[in-house]
Amino acid sequence: MNHIVFGVTGGIAAYKAVEAVRQLVLRGCDVKVVMTEHATRLVGPETFRAVSGNPVAVSLFDAEGKPIEHIYLARDADLVIVAPATANLLAKMAHGIADDLLTTTLLATRAPVLLAPAMNNLMYRHPATQHNLRLLRERGVHFVGPESGALACGEEGEGRMAEPQQIVDAAMGIFALEGDLSGKRVLVTAGGTREPLDPVRYIGNRSSGKMGYALAAASRRMGAEVTLVSGPTHLQPPAGVELVRVETAAEMREAVMAVAPGCDAVIMAAAVADFAPRESSGDKIKRRGKESLTLELVRTPDILGELSEGRAAGQVLVGFAAETGDLLARAREKLGAKGVDILVANDVSLPGSGFDADYNRAVLLFRDGTERALDLMPKAELAALIMREVAGLLGGKARERP
């Protein structure tokens, strides 16, 4: 049984936390709710006691004035969730402030922490809040959301708390990660490449890098030594991961080939350009006097194919196929052509998944001919699932395939 401490702060989205707790209990989790004083003005502790089946803690002291054992809560938790995580909570956690039961528990725990931020869009975008988010991500804190949409203040924008099912899915993704990759070296590529036309323009694609970064984070949490080769992206690298930044397909090939021979698994999640301009102008191309512009494109290196041909015995190779048409036919063709152990195929034209989204819907194709179609899920959960399969191929336990 997974033991969860579920923190609820004084954000208006506290009512959503009730459903999240209920769903976690239905998943077989033991949930102990810790509320701040402000949260109790929005949702009564008895509501959480009813859905969790456990007493709800609010104060550092119980009704008889005895101190509540926050170290016990922190020590026995397998995961700590805070939903909603207000701007105030993020600031306290980032700077080690422990002035109530929840923040004291957060400071004492060594369990993974999952935060579901919720606040006004202006508060979310404030430089102080963004700084606090960066600090927490660098320490390995997990996040789900926030989403964009209608806010309680009547405005529209980013800051809406993730839905209960999203929070539960993210929690289950964290629980799926065990130490199955301890002692292994994993290389992950992420993001798109940029092929320069001139000093200010380039040919690129819409890859955000989120899938690759999620895979790197999942690999690290499973105990692997991880190198992340990343094209340009605005994402923060996962804590404990060696980051190598590249820009072009040629640079990515050079970085990958330098690291791959010593790795147990190579996960090629990057959206590498298939073509690049034959020549790049040293000066900005002017449109003056031109009615059209013809570019000659040449093929970029086939990094995945080169890896497949030269890989060491026992090395696991995972490829990705981002398609917009006949997904399975094209994925099966690529699986055979590239000689990978696992091919992750997804239709990037579907709404709400694929490029620059937090969710993905994929089909896993295996070298032995089996296939596994997956429902829409957070990229963090999909990353955990993929890395469990990789661990299985390296000698650990893979999940049962339906």
| Geometric angle at alpha carbon 322, from 320 and 326, rounded to 5° | 115
Q: 3-175: which CATH topology?
A: Rossmann fold (3.40.50)
- What is the Cα 232 distance to its own chain's centre? 17
User: Is 263 noted as a catalytic residue in this protein?
Assistant: no
Residue-level pLDDT at 401: 38
pLDDT at 84: 95
| 3-state SS string for the chain | CCEEEEEECCCCCHHHHHHHHHHHHHCCCEEEEEECCCHHHCCCHHHHHHHHCCCCECCCECCCCCECCHHHHHHHCCEEEEEEECHHHHHHHHCCCCCCHHHHHHHHCCCCEEEEECCCHHHHHCHHHHHHHHHHHHCCCEECCCEEEECCCCCEEEEECCCHHHHHHHHHHHHCCCCCCCCCEEEEEECECCEECCCCCEECCCCCCHHHHHHHHHHHHCCCEEEEEECCCCCCCCCCCEEEECCCHHHHHHHHHHHHHHCCEEEECCECCCEEECCCCCCCCCCCCCCCCCCCEEECCCHHHHHHHHCCCCCEEEEEEEECCCHHHHHHHHHHHHCCCEEEEEECCCCCCCCCCCEECCEEEECCCCEEECCCEEHHHHHHHHHHHHHHHCCCCCCCCC
Closest to 253 in 3D by CA, of 237, 236, 273: 273
Structure tokens at 105: 């528990």
Give the start-to-end residue ranges of the domains of the chain.
3-175, 185-393
Fold designation for 185-393: Rossmann fold (3.40.50)
- Computed on alpha carbons and rounded to an integer, the radius of gyration of the chain in Å comes to 23
30-35 and 359-360 beta bridge pairing: unpaired
- Tokens representing 232 are 């340009």
d(CA 107, CA 71): 10
Strand duo 342-347 + 363-366: pairing: antiparallel
Q: Tell me, yes or no, if the two domains 3-175 and 185-393 fold the same way.
A: yes
Are 215 and 237 in contact by the 8 Å Cβ rule? The answer is no
Q: What is the pLDDT of residue 272?
A: 94
- Name the amino acid, one letter, at 232: P
The reported pLDDT for the residue numbered 402 is 38
Return d(Cα 397, Cα 142) in angstroms, integer: 24
- What is the dihedral sign for C-alpha 334, 336, 340, 346? positive
Which residues of the chain fall short of a pLDDT of 50?
A: 63-65, 397-402
Q: Which two tokens stand for residue 10?
A: 């004084």
d(Cα 228, Cα 267) in Å, to the nearest integer?
10
Catalytic residue (one of 25, 153, 244, 257): 153
- Does the pTM exceed 0.75? no
